[in-house]
Structure 1
């Protein structure tokens, strides 16, 4: 695992399960699903079309701080759009740069116009840490003169 590994590889290890919501869903529905699925953001899909993404950050800033009701507000009222997305062929390093520059925490992975996965900053950091651990293990084996396993 290296920083030049692809998002497709990460999705392959993580799994490509994507939970999403319809544009008519309430913010309450979104928060409930995020809690149940233990995710921090959900794509908003109209059929196969990605309209936006709603995150815990959107909820905090656009519902709670604005005094809105989560049951009376739709996800389209608070979602972030247009969405920054990536393709499975992009590298981990490219995605780390995008997330850092755009100050976002989640990236939908799109292929042929449809969403095939979601990656978070946590997924990317976990990949980098694992890659560093593998590099250290290989270097230790090299220094010790033992074969890497």
Structure 2
């Protein structure tokens, strides 16, 4: 079982995109579209204060017919952010995401944001681990 630290080390794009709580929702959605990501961390004074996702936009702006031009990120972000640490395992993260219906988990170490995991990151690692295990078992069965 891999740790979050191992996953972050092998992640292709480890850059963490962020917005401020006073940025407009439109700016956040434009950044997500430009960078091809589904969520952004919300930072204020170097501190993680929230997370905003495409889901937040869809449910709290588009469906309520609010303006993305005037609404601020702080109005739609999730302020009570669930985080994991570098020692958490893939399985723990997947269980947390499943139980809490999350698609993104900020990774915090000693109070500092060090990464962001998506459900896609975890699925990719799980598939690779399972493929490796299958290969090892097949070699064992063949006596190699």
TM-score, normalising length from structure 2?
0.96
* 3-state DSSP of counterpart to 1:42: strand
Moved over 2 A (4+): none
Q: Which runs of 5+ in 2 are unaligned?
A: none
Q: Does 1:12 align with 2:4?
A: no
**Aligned residue number for residue 27 of structure 1:** 25
CA-atom RMSD in angstroms: 0.9
Shift of 1:47: 2.1
CA offset digits 1:40-71 (Å, max 9, x no partner): 00010002211110000000000001111111
**Aligned residue number for residue 142 of structure 1:** 140
* 3-state DSSP of counterpart to 1:85: coil
The size of the alignment, in residue pairs, is 143
Of the three residues 34, 58, 61, the one matched with 2:59 is: 61
Contact 1:109 1:119 in 2 (8 A): yes
Q: Does 1:75 align with 2:77?
A: no
**Aligned residue number for residue 46 of structure 2:** 48
* 3-state DSSP of counterpart to 2:51: strand
Larger RCO, structure (CA 8 Å, separation 6 or more): 1
Provide the rounded CA distance (Å) in 1 between the counterparts of 2:93 and 2:122: 8
TM-score, normalising length from structure 1?
0.93
